[in-house]
Chain A
């Protein structure tokens, strides 16, 4: 599974959806995330930490789907070390347009610190 979901808390104890991402992310995976953060989903408007492995790819359908999710999450911090994956996420962010509640980080600790200081 390209997406492995886990419900956790931030260092300051705020609800956190942690997603471990690898391989090729398809529309099915993207929709599984969408279902979690829908209005009636269990993680609606939560803080999300997405840890994306090197070599992860996004299918065209998944790339088109992700921008629709923006109003459904509180904030997403993406921890990514691969320049190629970072470029891919940057491309999707360009599709989204203004996305102040989505930010890329090179380490998980930085990502969590940002999520913790956000008022959602």
Chain B
């Protein structure tokens, strides 16, 4: 097959292909009825290809937008879940709340813990709060004072706060802040079960 094509038609086709190669699928090869040759089918084929590419791009954009919306929803749900899991306040006995902390505690988390815990102490008229730090790997430098302020605030609400599961580094942080020497009413026990036994003994619950 031999077809003679005007240079202008070839140039036009190439310009449109180059535009498509840079992501512009909106241009179309102008088709003329008088161009009744085999090359017309090539030009039309390029137009069809561009239409398919434009459709594919529109579909892809739409799917990307849907994924972005879904990702935002999941991030929001995850944030809510993490917040709920980061402050799992458990009523282990009437008037006795336990808060097992896991993971790193930073300022933001300490603020959340304080808000949630004080609300529960007031709502349930708790007499004792056991703050279990067994699962706490590290406490950010400026966060320990915030936790100790929380302990004092619990005291102001009429409840006693017991710390359990304190690791050696955390113990050093507390001592450095002077909290164990009267700065804040901190009572520490080795394990959560020790604290619970102590509280129940104080309440006379174990003798029943």
Contact = CB atoms under 8 A, between A and B. Distances in A.
Interface of A: 54, 60, 63, 82-84, 87-88, 90-91
A88 to B, nearest CB: 6
A63 B41 contact: no
A99 B71 CA distance: 47
Contacts of A87: 31, 40-41, 43-44
Interface of B is mostly: helix
B33 A82 contact: yes
Interface in B24-51: 31-36, 40-41, 43-45, 48, 51
Given A54-B33, A60-B55, A84 B40 contact: yes
Interface in B178-197: none
A60 B44 contact: no
28 contacts: A54-B33, A60-B48, A60-B51, A60-B52, A60-B55, A63-B48, A82-B33, A83-B33, A83-B34, A83-B35, A83-B36, A83-B40, A84-B31, A84-B32, A84-B33, A84-B40, A84-B44, A87-B31, A87-B40, A87-B41, A87-B43, A87-B44, A88-B44, A90-B41, A91-B41, A91-B44, A91-B45, A91-B48
Most buried by B among A63, A82, A84, A87: A87
Contacts of A54: 33
Contacts of A88: 44
Contacts of A90: 41
Contacts of B55: 60
Contacts of B36: 83
Nearest to A92: B48
Nearest to A83: B36
Contacts of B32: 84
A71 B51 CA distance: 27
A60 B52 CA distance: 7
A94 to B, nearest CB: 8
A87 B37 CA distance: 9
